[in-house]
A and B are shown apart, each in its own frame.
Chain A
Amino acid sequence: DSGVTQTPKHLITATGQRVTLRCSPRSGDLSVYWYQQSLDQGLQFLIQYYNGEERAKGNILERFSAQQFPDLHSELNLSSLELGDSALYFCASSVDLWAGNYNEQFFGPGTRLTVL
């Protein structure tokens, strides 16, 4: 158990719908990262939050958004879902005490999203 929790574990929805994925980082970790794993693209970085603020963006679609709350949990919102959004979505957390302090990232169990 990495200490990172994600809910739900599985999500099945229809095209055009909107879903919210939730992540709770390890106790004391300030950084939250979101990654997407799909068959054709592999594991890709989406977005990072540090202590409530967006810090870095990767290949995240405009239909996707995220936020980190004062208690440091994070949510990834996916809207206008398409078949191609079906993937495993991971959240990871790390201590990252200051900019440039890159620490080991620990991954949650993932949310498997299926868009029908």
Chain B
Amino acid sequence: GIQVEQSPPDLILQEGANSTLRCNFSDSVNNLQWFHQNPWGQLINLFYIPSGTKQNGRLSATTVATERYSLLYISSSQTTDSGVYFCAVATNAGGTSYGKLTFGQGTILTVHP
């Protein structure tokens, strides 16, 4: 099946700093989503971005499907940004995925005041 690798595994920042999280995937995808899992365990949708670039406030994401990677940018980080960030992809390689998401192992972000 498709492999999803996220880097870095851990990231510690001071409030106000910027960061870039990376997601590499091993096959063509028809769905790519970024999630933030907060300390209460909720998975919050950040971006649905199988290709192209999107921005939402201090967050933006870019997916270069032909090169099989996606980047999540966090600017002017805040303590509330702390948590785990997941990249998840769906592929139809082999023709039978039906949209199931394969998740990376996540990046644990800690933002200190």
Interface contacts (Cβ under 8 Å), in number, total 62
A90 CB, nearest partner CB in chain B, Å: 7
Within 8 A of B (CB), among A26-46: 31, 33, 35, 42-45
Determine if B100 and A112 form an interchain contact, defined as CB atoms under 8 angstroms apart. Answer: no
Determine if B101 and A33 form an interchain contact, defined as CB atoms under 8 angstroms apart. Answer: yes
Residues 75-113 of B, flagged 1 when their CB comes within 8 A of A and 0 if not, give: 000000000001010101000111111110110000000
Residues of the B chain whose Cβ atoms lie less than 8 Å from the Cβ of A42: 103, 105-106
Contact check: which of A2, A58, A109 meets B100 at CB < 8 Å?
Answer: A58
Q: How many residues of A contact B (CB 8 A)?
A: 29
Query: A7 in the interface, Cβ–Cβ < 8 Å?
Result: no
With A31-B99, A56-B100, A58-B100 already in contact, the answer to whether A102 and B45 are too (CB < 8 A) is no
Determine if B98 and A107 form an interchain contact, defined as CB atoms under 8 angstroms apart. Answer: no
Residues 19-59 of B, flagged 1 when their CB comes within 8 A of A and 0 if not, give: 00000000000110101000001110100100000000000
Chain B residues at the A interface, C-beta cutoff of 8 Å: 30-31, 33, 35, 41-43, 45, 48, 86, 88, 90, 92, 96-103, 105-106
Apart from A92-B101, A102-B31: 19 A-B pairs, beta carbons within 8 A = A31-B99, A33-B99, A33-B101, A42-B103, A43-B103, A44-B103, A45-B102, A50-B98, A55-B98, A56-B98, A56-B99, A90-B43, A102-B90, A103-B31, A106-B45, A107-B35, A107-B42, A107-B43, A112-B41
Contact check: which of B35, B41, B99 meets A96 at CB < 8 Å?
Answer: B99
A-B contact pairs, 5 of them (CB 8 A): A56-B97, A56-B99, A96-B99, A104-B31, A110-B43
Q: Tell me the dominant secondary structure on chain A's binding face.
A: strand
Determine if A48 and B33 form an interchain contact, defined as CB atoms under 8 angstroms apart. Answer: no
With A42-B106, A56-B96 already in contact, the answer to whether A104 and B33 are too (CB < 8 A) is yes
Which residue of chain A has the shortest Cβ distance to B50 in the bound complex? A102
Query: A88 in the interface, Cβ–Cβ < 8 Å?
Result: yes
